[in-house]
Amino acid sequence: MLVSLLIFIGYDTLTASSRINASPPNVTVFVHGYKGTAVSFRSMLERFEKDHRWGKTTIICRVKSNGQVVFNEIGKVPSSGRLFVQLIFEDNRASFQDTAYWLSKALHALHETYKFENVNIVGHSMGGIVSVKFLEEYTKKPGYPFIHKLVVIGSPFSGLKDKDYLKRNWGPAAADLMPNSAALQTLLKQKDSFPSDVNVLAIAGTGDQLVSVDSVLTLEKIVPRSRFQKAVIADRRIDHSGLHESEKVDRLIGRFLWSEQ
């Protein structure tokens, strides 16, 4: 039976006991998008672990709306090997600004508690956007792990193509996701703050009913050309949510992050 251990990290101070790793693990953090939940990356992580044998999900990280970070350890956290961390935001409709701040709290807590020095990030949809915002606004500050590689999946960097989205959805994030929103324009204005040493893969899909290929690839305007890679899934059967359920996307991530075939 798997034993889960809860560790609470305070809003202002980190009170959990720290551990010193014998050797550095290869850590990848998975960040869900707007309205995302624990289900969002669950299937992908199960495939990575059981089908592909690329690593193991060891930590579920939940961030409350007051900034408190809660770690749920799935068994013992090993000191080496590939580790997956699933990040879940309590308020999954918050603005880019708030969500990027909560991402910063989570990554700071991972650094302080587990001594993770290097981390990859995989973000779906808005999860990719807030990861870029984090990189622009926080990584030059002390207390964070170095972000080695970033994968964004179906992330609308020039907004959603569904003009009626705001009629069916609500919250600050829904407005931020609209074309020409102030939040998206800020990302572009701050492009010079994006780190020059982070390798990025942008994955888009022709079957994505919410996000156009061009919108995903707008990230080219932010990331230095030498660090940017792109891939387009030409399959009309794979919709927006289906991108993180696709074996094709799995393979792209595996090759980019770990040179897996």
Q: What tens digit of pLDDT does each residue of 48-86 get?
A: 999 999 999 999 999 999 999 999 999 889 888 999 999
* pLDDT digit string, tens, across residues 86-99: 999 999 999 999 99
Q: What residues have CB less than 8 Å from 189, skipping those under 6 apart? A: none
> CB neighbours (10 Å) of residue 238?
20
Type of residue numbered 58: T
Q: Which domains does the chain have, with CATH numbers?
A: 4-9+25-256 (3.40.50.1820)
DSSP state of 128: H
- Is residue 13's pLDDT more than 50? no
pLDDT (tens digit per residue) in 162-204: 878 878 889 999 999 999 999 999 999 999 999 999 999 999 9
Q: Where are the alpha helices (DSSP H) in 82-161?
A: 96-114, 126-137
Residues in CB range of 234: below 8 A, 6 or more apart: 206
d(CA 48, CA 61): 18
| HSE-up (13 A, CA, CB side) for residue 174 | 13
CB-CB contact of 77 with 27 (8 Å): no
DSSP category for residue 147: E
With residues binned 3-state (H G I as helix, E B as strand, rest as coil), the percentages for the chain, rounded to 5, are 35, 25, 40
3 state SS of 50: helix
23: confidence class by pLDDT, cuts 50, 70, 90: low
The DSSP code sequence of 198-256 is -EEEEEEETT-SSS-HHHHHGGGGTS-GGGEEEEEE--TT--TGGGGG-HHHHHHHHHH
Those residues with Cβ within 8 angstroms of residue 194's Cβ, 6 or more apart along the chain or in another chain: 132, 135, 136, 222, 223, 224
Indicate whether this model's pTM tops 0.75.
Answer: yes
Cα gap 1→85, rounded to integer Å: 20
